[in-house]
Amino acid sequence: MAHNNRKPNMLPFTLKDFQKQFPDDATCLEWLKNYLYPDGIFCEACNAITKHHRVKSRPSYSCDHCGHHVHPTADTIFHKSPTPLTTWFYAIYLMAQTRCGISAKQIQRETGVTYKTAWRMFKQIRTMLTDEKSGPIGGFNRKVEMDETYYGSKARGTRGRGTTKTPVVGMVQRKGQVRAFVAADVKADTLNGLIKEHVLPKSVVFTDTFRSYNGLDARGYQHQRINHSEGVYVVGEVHTNTIEGFWSLIKRGISGVYHSVGRHYLQTYLNEYSFRYNRRFDVQPMFLSILQQVEKRDAVVRQSPVAVEPF
């Protein structure tokens, strides 16, 4: 039997659970090492996966054969940070515990670091929260809503289209994932380019009657519109309520938690809200979902040495 009103079935991850699993820096470092090197650490000096032991005097592991050191935190968001790993992990835990996000000021209060450090941690953690590798949404007969909104102070311009505020474009698959992007404008070329990149052909795409959406049928989509200008918001399955609900979530969160966000950082906030939304039905606790976004900037660390070609 299909359930139309699915609710999040995410397992609880309490503060007690967090403190039990990550009691100290050594435990955090061990988790990071095991996660980044699931098949064992590849020693560049030995040119093979070798056994490593923990070096007590520094956050590193040493090869049992040649003594070469490997630092799991290198090239991650924790790289060269004087802040303890337990504080980093706790900041991630705090960010995961709320639907609408948490401010750097709150992280400062909870962790005891300076505001400058809390803001930097907050910024670094949000750089991980992207779904750029998830691929496009939609597909044959799958329903996708598309809409645009505007972010910024009311004093900067008029409301709606034609405003000087920052345009944001979003696409959401019903009962599926969302994609949201800061856009240069809301012209047809811009909107068509975004939908081509992030929505699969033959999707059923619902929009309002904004003229920039003209031509979606010719591009391989089943395009249906709802005429908001006439006060019509739902006609059967034709509506954009899902994406508009996502916009409301973002705007309430930003105004209530962050108060204001500069255009330069707005995309990272969109990524954070999208990341949470896309995992709303996950069984795994959000804390672990965020923590597992940690990765080396050099992608070869997760690969077997057999798959690594010489440089």
Distance CA 89, CA 18 (A): 9
- Sorted by where each starts, the structural domains of the chain and their CATH numbers stand as 15-131+287-305 (no CATH), 143-274 (3.30.420.10)
Type of residue at 133: K
Cα angle for residues 171, 295, 10 (degrees, 5° grid): 55
What is the pLDDT at residue 261?
81
Distance CA 37, CA 105 (A): 34
pLDDT per residue of the chain (311 residues) written in tens, 0 to 9: 444 444 445 557 899 999 999 999 999 999 999 999 999 999 999 999 999 999 988 999 999 999 999 999 999 999 999 999 999 999 999 999 887 788 899 999 999 999 999 999 999 999 999 887 789 999 999 999 999 999 876 544 455 555 578 999 999 999 999 999 999 999 999 999 999 999 999 999 999 999 999 999 999 999 999 998 888 889 999 999 999 999 999 988 888 777 778 788 899 999 999 999 999 998 899 999 999 999 876 543 443 333 332 22
Distance CA 297, CA 74 (A): 9
Relative to beta strand 143-151, strand 69-70 is unpaired
What is the pLDDT at residue 30?
96
CA dihedral 32, 37, 39, 41 (to 10 degrees): -120
What is the pLDDT at residue 230?
84
What is the pLDDT at residue 163?
59
